[in-house]
Amino acid sequence: MTAPSFDIVVFGATSFVGQILTKYLAEYLADQREPVRWAIAGRSAAKLDEVKRSLGAVGQSLPVIVADASDEAQLRAMCAQTRVVVSTVGPYALYGEPLVKVCAETGVDYCDLTGEAQWIRRMIAKYEEAAKQSGARIVHCCGFDSVPSDMGVYFLQQQFRQQWQVPATEVKMRVRSMKGGASGGTVASMVNLVSEATKDPALRKELRNPYSLCPEAHGFTSRQKPVSSALYDQDFDAWVAPFVMAAINERVVFRSNALSGMAYGADFTYNEGMLTGTGAKGRLGALAVVGGLGGFMLGVVFKPTRALLERFVLPKPGEGPSPQQQLTGRYDIRFFGRSAQGQTLRVKVTGDRDPGYGSTSKMLGQAALSLALDHVQDGAKVGRGGGFWTPATMFDERYIGRLTKHAGLAFQVC
């Protein structure tokens, strides 16, 4: 059997985040700090050549593969040339399935930045057995959805066990501050999810199930309490509002607990929210967030208002924060953990770019590199076998090391 030509292929390199990811990898690998053979792929040869030209001298020798997200034969030809595919082609619920199917069937490792829980559940149901048989490691949610949350809980649990030899059975994540813009791709994914849910009662029921991404026999019975309105949190001494990414992040963290043999405890509880401050100002801020999210969801539900929002308000696919906005973006998220015995611990995770794009591209790039390098020995896969993994169950301290050294993140006890 011929060895693949590449370690990593960036699929969707011409997309908004694909271009950021490609630039990051080109700069990161320019000095050959790690022995990686890589290529870029997409449906348009002309646009791929534009991406190469934008990289200057580094891009001149970068191989290009033409493959359409809907053409299974082209995707199979692409996957035959690589060990890892990192995909930025979303909304994944509309365009992502053929590539996941091909990777699962051919044994090629895969990672992406989706935050679409309903699509992830479908992919697990349809292709997990194939991935287990082929050895493909499929890792969704390797961007801001849901690396800071999932790896943040993983880090907190490590610290907890080191200090008290028990897990934190109750964990809260709170966004302390966040600065960054949205892209058309992210908005399109959110609009598609709301559109699907309005037409499908079964999907609406699934979206109310916090354990929807856990294996069927997960055994969890704890009643979760997501932040769905303005509330005062005594553990943070501040008002809290709902966090729009909680819906995917919480489910990923619960799946991590299930896949790790209930390492966080059978009665583990977790929720996410945004800190809005103290006193009357904090309460008003929380109520404003609730109102804003409610108005957005209501506007998207109805077709006429959705059309108006898409035409005049929301960014279009391919649009997103400027390079300057990406550089000046940041985030600071805090975790509070409590054990069944009452011990407590706080940690924080920070990022030095806008969360959705500047930081996401680095997290996603390092996830692909970790799959290609950290979990391979003498050309053979080691560690996790085939299947659908979360960041916290596929990766480990080496990934946290990559994030802190090369992706601008920090994980700290506070």
Residues 196, 337, single domain; the answer is yes
Q: What angle do CA 171, 172, 178 make, to 5 degrees?
A: 140
Residues 127, 202, single domain; the answer is no
Q: Are 136 and 106 in contact (CB under 8 A)?
A: yes
Number of separate domains in the chain: 2
Sign of CA dihedral 204, 207, 210, 213: positive
Residue 213 lies in a domain: yes
Residue 414 lies in a domain: no
Residue 173 lies in a domain: yes
Residues in the chain, how many? Answer: 414
Report how far residue 98's alpha carbon sits from residue 96's, in angstroms, rounded to the nearest whole number. 6
Residues 365, 349, single domain; the answer is no
Report how far residue 312's alpha carbon sits from residue 329's, in angstroms, rounded to the nearest whole number. 25
- Of the three residues 334, 354, 374, the one that is the final residue of a domain is 354
Q: Are 115 and 145 in contact (CB under 8 A)?
A: yes
User: According to the model, what pLDDT value does residue 213 have?
Assistant: 97
Residues 100, 208, single domain; the answer is no
Residue type, 91: P
Residues 203, 93, single domain; the answer is no
Report how far residue 255's alpha carbon sits from residue 263's, in angstroms, rounded to the nearest whole number. 11
Residues 115, 206, single domain; the answer is no
Kindly indicate the confidence band of residue 319, based on its pLDDT and cuts at 50, 70 and 90: low
Residue 128 lies in a domain: yes
Report how far residue 88's alpha carbon sits from residue 41's, in angstroms, rounded to the nearest whole number. 11
Residues 205, 220, single domain; the answer is yes
Residues 156, 224, single domain; the answer is yes
Residues 252, 168, single domain; the answer is yes
What is the pTM for the complete model shown? 0.94
Q: Are 65 and 72 in contact (CB under 8 A)?
A: no
Q: What CATH number is associated with residue 33?
A: 3.40.50.720
Q: Are 153 and 127 in contact (CB under 8 A)?
A: no
Which domain range does residue 162 map to?
147-354
Residue 395 lies in a domain: yes
Alpha-helical segments (H) within 107-146: 117-134
pLDDT at 227 over 80: yes
User: According to the model, what pLDDT value does residue 350 have?
Assistant: 98
User: According to the model, what pLDDT value does residue 311 have?
Assistant: 67
Q: Are 389 and 149 in contact (CB under 8 A)?
A: no
Residue 413 lies in a domain: no
Residues 221, 284, single domain; the answer is yes
Kindly indicate the confidence band of residue 235, based on its pLDDT and cuts at 50, 70 and 90: very high
User: According to the model, what pLDDT value does residue 400 have?
Assistant: 98
Residues 104, 44, single domain; the answer is yes
Residues 168, 265, single domain; the answer is yes
